[in-house]
């Protein structure tokens, strides 16, 4: 206790030094803690359910024909048909239970208040398989799935119940309108439970068997074995292993495939049918739930590594400061030894003092980490940002505390051992500082500074690579003009409207918007542009002789007249759609250049016909009336796919549209006007995803932007810390050598000569550090190649830029010590001890 | 205090110390042979660089890098492990320095407490002994002051008090009055003499003949060799 009191007193006695060490630790560790917290949240945090490690996710890779509807929960290899799910659920014995789920867009209305949100269709076993208990009422169970479409119940998300229903216990038994259907609220899910799909926060859970009512626009899939839309997971039976479960479920699955489903796919080419018959269910650990959005482990790991390097540089500075302090206190340590202290006790005392710094640094880390995390999340799209809770109460605090203690103790040990090396003899002679501040310590300090230069080189090269990649992305030709365009979506069908009313609502919104002053054109599409949405259909194209098994699919979208004009996509030949391309008119299409190339339409594609469906037999009833220039479709970075556009008025099943408004006024004015216009058409219709197209483009590449901005920010921080470290080493060395320098000056050396000694030292440290850093950078750059766009991991511009930037920083750090050394007054220096 | 054993407290035989220097050696102590009995008051004198401080450090168990024999209470220090050597030193030796070497960030009472805490004396007993020592040296009113708030003489008084608080049998004093006016120094020497009269063995290093006059024996060093060993009383 006495030692602790003295350690605290010592820390307070040197407030400047303590502040610098605590600040360095807080900066380095704050960045690392923030990144670790996000890393943990995205890649490590299990679902808040009972024994999450016993959960497994289902996959079924291999060929499948028919309609697929994939979502955030996973890719299209992980979805099953509803009948297959029910067969597996009913007949399996390897699991404690299997559950199915699917996401849907939900318009929720409770006592007049309407919001647009996400919902989850869940099977009767969903909550029991997870082992989740309700916060209020009951959860959906097998009793809620008597027959398809006959279980009008809903379970509320806790946050929705709290924020929109005022946490009213009386809500149980009340009616909630979900996509126009009246459902009875039977319970509230527990707080903190956001479903099983990371990145999706459903506000309501409804029985899976209600899918036809919740998503009336989607193909009815409850009876179809070739309509795939259900994601599955299961809980292993007590004592059962994942391998045993895989063997058992695949015996069942193979039987259903071969005895029931193979016959439904008899028109498949033989080799594909054989693959279909041999498909198996893959089981993957399911503790984290299901989500393709978690597939960002590479950039997250990289950024965590970057922050770890920043921390390492900060720790090197702390070690240098501790060493300098240790040298200054070596006499005291020798004295304490003469008073009976063992070396272990002295080292322990110094480490205790370092621990006090670590504890204060750890405390200071938390606000820095919180601010850093907030800044990072501000760069992420809302759907990801809202999924990550800024929580520094538990694991993050433990991480910060442990890391602070470990780093300070690790980096404090050598200085402590150095400081306790002086013997009483040297104290008596007043030479303790020289004794422990000798060559070994000097080498240690120089090595640390050189390592800092090397690490900074690596970080600057990485930052340069990602910045260059971002520049490449920014200069991608989208093939369309997104500036001055605002977009949003509406889904009248989710309000339970008929198709006629839905179409009428679309038409009225478009015409009302076109009348708004400053609006120059309005259009719409069934597939939202650059938003990772996708529509793909197999085609039978005139003149294209598809070999067996060939890919005959093309991307598609149903659009309003003026689509190309509004989005500034050049029409190369033919015509745009007009109001005349409506129901009953001949079916027409506009295709892009990639479509023309893929299907070999040559120089005269206009007037040719194609049909949707089987590549050989589908009726070719759609005439190509226009050719559009290639433009990006679903992503900014992805290749431009073959695309055909159809008039939306010729498709009667569209329940949701993305609407684009081009204006001659500021986008902000359009953003403000749109909700008013939509409300004037239908006050109960929520406006969804209202944003500028520029923002949509940015969201599409948010990960690239995030990595580039963060790596640049962390590299800057690291370089500043390294510069401080380098300055410290040089300044200390100059101070240590003042007497020697004075003698040299007294003997006739010129200021240039003594300055050269500093410059030489800096140059050798920089040369070694940068060379090592460049070698490591090239290797790290190659590892990060998959995250770069339009360049490889070896980028001479990034390497040269990093060296130039660091050389400037090193020169700046060396300037003051070099100037000081040349300005030493010989007589003053000779008095220096 | 430990019971005195028969024979000299300290016996050095053929003790030498050197540092390697450019392929050769620089000698600090050469063929040192001497005996110091329990209760002696010995002064080591000699010019700068004669090896006085080095010899003091060896006698204080703080420097084990020597050749030859060092016997303490009949125990072969030169054969001891570092741990055993440290234990013997801790139990038997106290130091007084020319520059006082008080710990500036500790109060007078805390400075006195330090040697006891390093000997793992229980807290209660430590408090009692610190209080008793403060009383004995008439420093009760200064117990909460920091060293920088004391005069040089008062600081050396605290340093002597700190040296004896753990009741060492041997006090090693390096120029104990070197930083003091003679009147202050005289008071300190009388204090050391009093301790010696109560049985504490004292070995001091000094350049000052008046200070040496308080001891009963003077050993002179020159270039690491013992050049004289004479009685003063």
Encode pLDDT of B74-109 as tens digits.
999 999 998 888 889 888 988 888 777 888 878 999
Per-residue b/e over A784-807, b at no fewer than 16 CB within 10 Å? beebbbebebebeebbebbbebbe
Task: Quote the CA–CA distance of B210 and A342 in Å, as a whole number.
Answer: 36
User: What pLDDT is attached to residue B75?
Assistant: 93
Calculate mean pLDDT across residues A449-471. Answer: 90
Say what the pLDDT of residue A430 is: 53
**Mean pLDDT, chain B, as a whole number?**
88
Task: Decide if pLDDT at A13 tops 90.
Answer: no
Task: Give the tens place of pLDDT for each residue, A528-586.
Answer: 998 877 788 889 999 888 776 678 889 999 999 999 999 999 999 999 999 999 988 99
- Put simply, whether B118 touches A (Cβ < 8 Å) is yes
- The answer to whether B105 faces chain A, any CB pair under 8 Å, is yes
pLDDT exceeds 50 at position A738: yes
Task: Confirm or reject contact between A345 and chain B (CB < 8 A).
Answer: yes
Q: Which helix (H) or strand (E) segment is A525 a member of?
A: strand A519-525
Residue A29 has pLDDT above 90, yes or no: no
- Please tell me which of the candidates A332, A337, A425 has its beta carbon nearest to residue B54: A425
Backbone angles phi, psi at A594, to 5 degrees: -65, -35
In chain A, which residue's Cα lies nearest the Cα of B56? A425
Q: What is the pTM of this model?
A: 0.73
Smallest CA-to-CA distance from A530 within A407, A393, A679, A699 is with: A699
- Say whether the ipTM exceeds 0.85: no
Kindly report the average pLDDT of chain A as a whole number.
Answer: 86
A611-642 b/e with 16+ CB inside 10 Å = b? bbeebeebeeebebbbbbebbbbbbbeeebbb
Residues B177-197 have a mean pLDDT of: 86
Flag whether pLDDT at A389 surpasses 70.
Answer: no
- A-B contacts (CB, under 8 Å): 61
What pLDDT score does A670 carry?
92
* Residues facing A236 on adjacent strands: A95
Asked if B103 lies within 8 A of A2 by C-beta distance, the reply is: no
Cross-chain CB nearest to A339 (options B53, B98, B114): B114
Contact B57 A335 (CB under 8 A): no
**Closest CB from B57, B110, B117 relative to A425:** B57
Interchain contact, B115 vs A2, CB within 8 Å: no
* Per-position b or e across A381-419, b if 16+ CB within 10 A of its CB: beebeebbebebeebbbebbbebbbebbeebbbbbbebb
Give the chain B residue whose CA is nearest to the CA of A430.
B99
pLDDT at A830: 56
Taking the Cβ of residue B95 and every Cβ of chain A, the question of whether any pair is shorter than 8 Å is answered with yes
Q: Note whether A428 contacts B97, CB cutoff 8 Å.
A: yes
pLDDT > 90? residue A173 = yes
Q: What pLDDT digit, counting tens, does each position of A70-123 carry?
A: 777 777 788 899 999 999 999 998 899 999 999 988 888 888 777 888 899 999
- Partners of B155 on chain A (C-beta within 8 Å) are none
Q: What distance in Å separates residue A320's CA from the closest CA in chain B?
A: 23
Do B60 and B172 touch, CB atoms closer than 8 A?
Answer: yes
pLDDT-derived band of residue B3, with 50, 70 and 90 as boundaries? very low
Question: Are residues A540 and A617 in contact, defined by beta-carbon separation less than 8 angstroms?
Answer: yes
Instruction: Say if A270 is an interface residue toward chain B (CB within 8 Å).
Output: no
Specify the range with the lowest mean pLDDT, choosing from A319-328, A603-612, B48-57: A319-328
pLDDT of residue A433: 47
B152 class by beta-carbon count within 10 Å (0-12 exposed, 13-18 middle, 19+ buried) = middle
What does the pLDDT average to over A181-207? 92
Q: Is there a contact between B162 and A339 if contact means CB atoms under 8 Å apart?
A: yes
* Residue B63 at interface with chain A, using a CB cutoff of 8 Å: yes
Q: Is the pLDDT of residue A293 over 80?
A: no
pLDDT at position A26 over 80: yes
Chain B contact for A332 (CB, 8 A cutoff): yes
Nearest to B57 among A9, A423, A430 (CB): A423
Q: Which of B92, B95, B166 to mutate to test the interface with A (most CBs of A within 10 A)?
A: B95
């Amino acid at each position: 206790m006495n030692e602790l009191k003295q350690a605290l007193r010592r820390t307070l006695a040197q407030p400047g030094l303590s502040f610098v060490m605590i600040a360095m630790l807080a900066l380095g560790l704050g960045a690392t803690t923030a990144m670790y917290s996000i890393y943990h949240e995205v890649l490590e945090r299990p679902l808040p359910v009972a024994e999450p490690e016993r959960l497994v996710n289902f996959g079924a890779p291999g060929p499948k024909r028919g309609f697929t509807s994939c979502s955030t929960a996973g890719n299209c290899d992980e979805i099953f048909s509803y009948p297959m799910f029910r067969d597996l659920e009913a007949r399996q014995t390897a699991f404690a239970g299997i559950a199915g789920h699917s996401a849907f867009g939900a318009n929720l209305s409770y006592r007049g208040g309407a919001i647009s949100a996400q919902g989850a269709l869940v099977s009767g076993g969903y909550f029991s398989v997870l082992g989740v208990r309700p916060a209020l009422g009951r959860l959906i169970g097998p009793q809620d799935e008597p027959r398809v479409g006959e279980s009008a119940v809903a379970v509320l998300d806790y946050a929705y119940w709290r924020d929109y229903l005022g946490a009213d216990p009386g809500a149980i038994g009340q009616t909630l309108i979900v996509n126009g259907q009246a459902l009875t609220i039977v319970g509230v899910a527990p707080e903190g439970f956001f479903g099983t799909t990371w990145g999706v926060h459903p506000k309501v859970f409804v029985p899976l068997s209600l899918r036809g009512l919740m998503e009336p626009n989607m193909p009815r899939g409850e009876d179809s074995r070739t309509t795939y839309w259900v994601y599955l997971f299961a809980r292993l039976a007590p004592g059962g292993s994942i391998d045993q479960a895989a063997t058992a479920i695949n015996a069942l699955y193979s039987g259903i495939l071969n005895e029931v489903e193979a016959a439904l796919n008899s028109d498949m080419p033989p080799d594909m049918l054989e693959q279909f018959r041999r498909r198996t269910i893959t089981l993957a650990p399911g503790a984290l739930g299901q989500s393709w959005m978690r597939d960002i482990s590479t950039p997250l790991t990289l950024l965590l590594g970057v922050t770890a390097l920043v921390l390492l540089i900060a720790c090197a500075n702390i070690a240098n400061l501790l060493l300098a302090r240790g040298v200054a206190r070596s006499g005291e340590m020798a004295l304490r030894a003469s008073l009976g202290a063992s070396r272990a006790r002295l080292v322990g005392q110094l480490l205790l003092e370092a621990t006090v710094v670590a504890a204060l640094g750890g405390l200071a880390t938390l606000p820095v980490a919180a601010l850093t995390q907030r800044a990072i999340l501000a760069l992420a799209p809302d759907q990801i940002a809202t999924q990550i809770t800024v929580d520094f109460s538990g694991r993050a605090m433990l991480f910060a505390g442990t890391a602070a203690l470990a780093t300070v103790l690790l980096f404090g040990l050598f200085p402590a051992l150095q400081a306790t090396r002086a013997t009483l003899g040297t104290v008596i002679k007043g030479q303790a500082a020289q004794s422990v501040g000798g060559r070994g310590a000097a080498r240690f300090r120089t090595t640390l500074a050189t390592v800092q230069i090397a690490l900074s080189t690596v970080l600057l090269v990485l930052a340069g690579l990602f910045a260059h990649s971002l520049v490449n992305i920014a200069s991608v030709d989208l093939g369309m003009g997104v500036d001055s365009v605002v977009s949003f979506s509406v889904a009248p069908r989710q309000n339970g409207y008929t198709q006629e009313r839905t179409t009428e609502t679309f038409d009225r919104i478009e015409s009302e918007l076109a009348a708004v002053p400053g609006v120059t054109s309005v259009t719409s599409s069934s597939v939202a542009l650059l938003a990772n949405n996708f529509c793909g259909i197999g085609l039978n194209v005139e003149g294209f002789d598809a070999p067996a098994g060939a890919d005959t699919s093309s991307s598609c979208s149903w659009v309003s007249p003026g689509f190309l004009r509004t989005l500034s996509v050049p029409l190369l030949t033919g015509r745009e759609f007009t109001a005349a391309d409506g129901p009953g008119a001949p079916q027409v299409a506009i295709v892009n250049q990639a479509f023309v190339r893929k299907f070999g339409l040559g120089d005269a594609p206009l007037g040719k016909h194609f049909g949707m469906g089987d590549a050989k037999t589908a009726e070719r009833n759609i005439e190509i009336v226009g050719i559009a220039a290639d433009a990006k479709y679903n992503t900014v970075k992805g290749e431009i796919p073959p695309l055909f556009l159809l008039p939306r008025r010729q498709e009667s099943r569209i329940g949701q549209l993305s609407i684009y408004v081009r204006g001659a006024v500021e986008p902000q004015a359009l953003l403000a006007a749109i909700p008013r216009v939509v409300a004037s058409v239908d006050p109960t219709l929520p406006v969804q995803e209202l944003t500028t197209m520029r923002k949509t483009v940015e969201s599409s590449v948010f990960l690239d932007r995030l990595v580039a901005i963060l790596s640049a920010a962390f590299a800057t921080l690291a370089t500043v810390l390294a510069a401080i470290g380098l300055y410290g080493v040089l300044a200390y060395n100059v101070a240590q050598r003042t007497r020697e320098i004075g003698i040299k000056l007294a003997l006739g050396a010129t200021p240039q000569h003594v300055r050269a000694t500093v410059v030489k030292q800096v140059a050798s440290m920089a040369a070694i550090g940068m060379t090592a850093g460049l070698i490591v950078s090239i290797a790290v750059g190659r590892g990060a190649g998959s995250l770069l766009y339009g360049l490889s991991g070896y980028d001479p511009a990034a390497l040269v830029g990093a060296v130039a930037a660091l050389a400037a920083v090193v020169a700046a750090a060396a300037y003051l010590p070099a100037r000081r050394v040349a300005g030493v007054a010989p007589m003053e220096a000779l008095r220096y001890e | 205090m430990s019971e005195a054993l028969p024979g000299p407290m300290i016996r050095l035989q053929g003790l030498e110390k050197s540092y390697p220097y450019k392929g050769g050696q620089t000698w600090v102590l050469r063929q040192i042979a001497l005996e110091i009995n329990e209760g002696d008051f010995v002064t080591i004198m000699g010019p700068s660089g004669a090896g006085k401080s080095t010899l003091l450090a060896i006698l204080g168990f703080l420097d084990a890098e020597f050749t030859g024999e060092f016997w303490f209470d009949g125990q072969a220090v030169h054969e001891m492990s570092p741990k055993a050597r440290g234990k013997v030193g801790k139990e038997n030796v106290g130091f007084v320095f020319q520059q006082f070497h008080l710990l500036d960030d500790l109060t007078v009472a805390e400075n006195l407490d330090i040697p006891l805490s390093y000997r793992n004396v229980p807290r209660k007993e430590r408090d009692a002994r610190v209080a008793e020592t403060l009383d004995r040296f008439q420093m009760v009113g200064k117990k909460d002051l920091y060293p920088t708030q004391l005069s040089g003489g008062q600081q050396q008084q605290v340093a002597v008090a700190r040296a004896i608080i753990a009741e060492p049998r041997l006090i090693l004093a390096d120029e104990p009055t070197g930083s003091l006016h003679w009147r202050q120094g005289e008071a300190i020497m009388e204090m050391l003499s009093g301790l010696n009269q109560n049985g504490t063995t004292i070995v001091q290093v000094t350049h000052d003949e008046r200070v040496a006059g308080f001891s009963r024996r003077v050993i002179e060093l020159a270039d690491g060799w013992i050049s004289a060993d004479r009685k003063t009383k």
